[in-house]
Structure 1
């Protein structure tokens, strides 16, 4: 690029957006890339503190910040993302639909380790709505060596999954088994079922059956099997998850020949959470906190399974960092530290 005095710039073509800031009035691009400078622009440019402007000098091997940001945005983007037009060398990525943002933490680290590259994103597994801003790309210099962008493209190509994508939640058929002799015999009203139903429906899935079971292993198991025979693709078993001998939900789930992923999670509230699979059907044992706490381990893991992800023990263990809910009087999840 070539540096020219503002007073000598009439007829020159700007190669970058130029921002004007007037406190309380405006902050944004006053002149866009490609603008041909006019005589009346000179005093405006000077009032913006510009003594010089830069024009493209076509130096081989250098590319403009807008092109670099756009190439970065495209190379990190998987499905479910929309890219806006470059503005002052930045590209914003937004969600094309509701879902969860999946981001490669290692990929983001590798890209940002490149000199001059910027990729800022929301946290991995962040729930988003259509139109939400999820990431932004840019480069630091106005002009950058194309080799840097080629290196970024090469890095992204080494990952089997996109660096970023928004995965929609599947619409599953869900079965609920509420355990506890006190509920089964009608001594107290079931408060667990309505909470679970509301969450499931809010995620776009449907409860096909809700059953009550006493603290009896065989009854819990028969209810689970019945719901699977009805087409349930996910089973939620509430209550009876402590180490108290009377709490038999874990024994019932394990006794069905399931693949046990975990009994216990480094999340508060939700430490006594259980996850197992019967074939491809996830079965979750949900502790009592899910009934009365606004957000728990259930809110962190269920949406991921609704995208089709099969969780491992390592996935659950990783929840420990950020797994402490502060249980604020006014819940702002996901705009908080929980699950991050």
Structure 2
């Protein structure tokens, strides 16, 4: 690829390296210059332009990203369409992500032009969650280099990416008791364990509560195994301190064996791993009574995913095994100060507001106002939208009103929102948008623009957009997608306010993406809520929870 200034007379067919703002026209970076574009640049008085020109054997960025993605795609791994040299890989199911780190390092070592970034190895993932992103850095890659990367990707017995689905296992829990132990402690252990199991698609058998003695625990394990338990857990009233302690000894007494005691993960050091026949059996560390991440989670995730976890696997968990920042403990824990140590400063949360557009005249639904159509519970559509937004981390929530202002405000009475009145709402969408933007506090870093006729977009979906928002990292516009189709709502950095406030007519801000494509990131969603608006009678009738008109 040849990169650099190109005389305008030779620029036809070259790729524009940087966006050009010309009188009345913007030519985006990455555009293949045709005769019309060349003429426009020449008319603007430019004698040359910075371009990339492909040479024989070069593969354009999107084609290269698609080819590398195809080489990395495996069962239960899907991929997005290529855009600006990027393809995202997605998990098709809830499960555990297992990577071949050596081959991934090999791909990234082929050339600086090809990059693959992934989640950490052994990360639990949800369906449609992004697990990796492939990015081609320049506008084209030499075909020979791409071929080497493809060969590395396909060169193993197993795929580079493997998603092991979580299995619906039945879990048996033995809870041991000692005199004086608080009932709240026992209940907390059951609740935390059940939450973990259900989060991995499993289910709990009735809990066995027995004395903290070897024989009763062994008998309880046998009862649970006969009841169909596929995983056996022991939560002791007293922490296990040796592989011959009551919990491990009970596993052996029940006909099992101990495979490993202890792990280089804190919290979670005192996990004991064993088996009764082919059934995994574990004595839980005391920290497992808490819902916070600990070493037990790492082992349980592998068990549910059907990924082998032997002693050597546990001992390999030390790098990254310090799960919280703690002070050095020079004293036995019983003598240590009862003061929580200072935690590492968390990543600063972005200050993101929400603007809900609810000023339109619903012309396609006249004489009904679609925003006031109530569902079977009597909740107007606009209230469903606002309640979903309030369930997210976006604050403040600004609702733009105009048409039937009093009725819309009445429908939202009692909700902690700010109303912004669009006096000229009849002029179109841009008027409503500008009224909402004018009401934004000066300290917000970004804002998500929500449409009043999209009631299926949930709070967690909005939070996924907020989590992806990072202007310093180039993610200044966040767009939701479903199976590659772009949807709403969109999140914008405040840097775009001047351009958005200059929009006129019955249009929104979506066209600005063309100018700022390099500042946008797509976030794939698990369902099509981000594509579904309801602006006709037929659509409203088909809406989940649809009911009477208003």
Matched, 1:71 2:67: yes
Asked if the contact 2:98–2:121 (Cα under 8 Å) also holds between the matched residues in 1, the reply is yes
In the TM superposition, what is the alpha-carbon distance from 1:326 to its structure 2 partner?
Answer: 1.3
Structure-2 separation of matches of 1:185 and 1:241 = 15
The alignment of Structure 1 onto Structure 2 pairs a total of residues equal to 324
Superposition pairs of residues 218-257 of structure 1, within 5 angstroms: 218-239=215-236, 240-243=238-241, 247-257=245-255
Residue 144 of structure 1: aligned partner = 141
Tell me if the contact between 2:178 and 2:211 (Cα under 8 Å) persists in the aligned partners: yes
Deviation track 1:160-184 (CA, whole Å, cap 9, x = no partner) reads 2211133321111111111133389
Change (3 A) 1:63 1:329: closer
Q: Which residue matches 2:160?
A: 163
Deviations 1:294-331 (A, max 9, x none): 12111222112111112011211111111112165999
Separation in 1, partners of 2:245, 2:165: 35
Partner SS for 1:265 = coil
Matched, 1:87 2:83: yes
Alpha-carbon deviation of 1:115?
2.1
Report 1:97-136 matches (<5 A): 97-116=93-112, 117-136=114-133
Contact 1:241–1:248 (Cα < 8 Å) also in 2: no
Alpha-carbon displacement from aligned partner over 1:180-206 (angstroms, at most 9, x marks no partner): 333899797543112211221122211
After the TM superposition, which of the residue ranges 97-106 and 306-315 deviates more from structure 2? 97-106
* Deviation larger for 314-323 or 64-73: 64-73
Distance 1:234 1:38 in 2: 68
Identify which of structures 1 and 2 has the higher relative contact order when contacts are C-alpha pairs closer than 8 Å and 6+ apart: 1
Change (3 A) 1:259 1:114: farther
Q: Which moved more, 1:179-188 or 1:63-72?
A: 179-188
Q: How far, CA to CA, are the matches of 2:183 and 2:211 in structure 1?
A: 11
1:20 Cα deviation after fit: 3.8
Query: Does 175-184 or 301-310 show the bigger shift?
Result: 175-184
Q: Distance in 1 between matches of 2:51 and 2:262?
A: 61
Would you say the 8 A contact 1:171–1:206 is kept in 2? yes
Please point out which of 285, 293, 313 is paired with 1:315.
313
Q: Report the RMSD for the aligned CA atoms in angstroms.
A: 3.6
Match of 1:273 in 2: 271
* Matched residue SS, 1:319: coil
Q: Which has the larger radius of gyration?
A: 2
**TM-aligned CA distance change 1:2 to 1:251, over 3 Å:** closer
TM-score, normalising length: structure 1? 0.81
CA 230–62 in structure 1, closer or farther in 2 if over 3 Å, else same: same
1:7 corresponds in structure 2 to 8
Once the two structures are TM-superposed, the CA of residue 238 in structure 1 deviates from its matched residue by: 0.8
Q: Distance in 2 between matches of 1:97 and 1:47?
A: 55
Contact 1:183 1:212 in 2 (8 A): no
Q: Distance in 2 between matches of 1:67 and 1:132?
A: 23
1:35–1:5 Cα change, 3 Å: closer
Q: Residue 205 of structure 1 aligns with which residue?
A: 202
CA distance in 2, matches of 1:48, 1:171: 65
Unmatched 5+ stretches in structure 1:
23-27, 336-340
**Shift of residue 155, structure 1, vs aligned partner:** 2.1
- Report the CA distance shift for 1:5/1:308 in structure 2 as closer, same or farther (over 3 A): same
Give 3-state SS (helix, strand or coil) of 2:206's partner. Answer: strand
Give the 3 Å change call, closer, same or farther, for CA 247–293 of structure 1 in structure 2.
farther
Contact 1:275/1:283 (8 A) holds in 2: yes
What's the counterpart of residue 30 of structure 1? 28
Gap runs ≥5 in structure 2: 326-342, 348-466, 468-550
Q: Distance in 2 between matches of 1:301 and 1:86?
A: 36
Q: Partners in 2 of 1:330 and 1:220 — Cα distance?
A: 42
Distance 1:245 1:92 in 2: 45
Question: What SS does the aligned partner of 1:182 have?
Answer: coil
8 Å CA contact retained: 1:170, 1:306: yes
Work out whether residues 17 and 51 of structure 2, in 8 Å CA contact, stay in contact via their aligned partners in 1. no
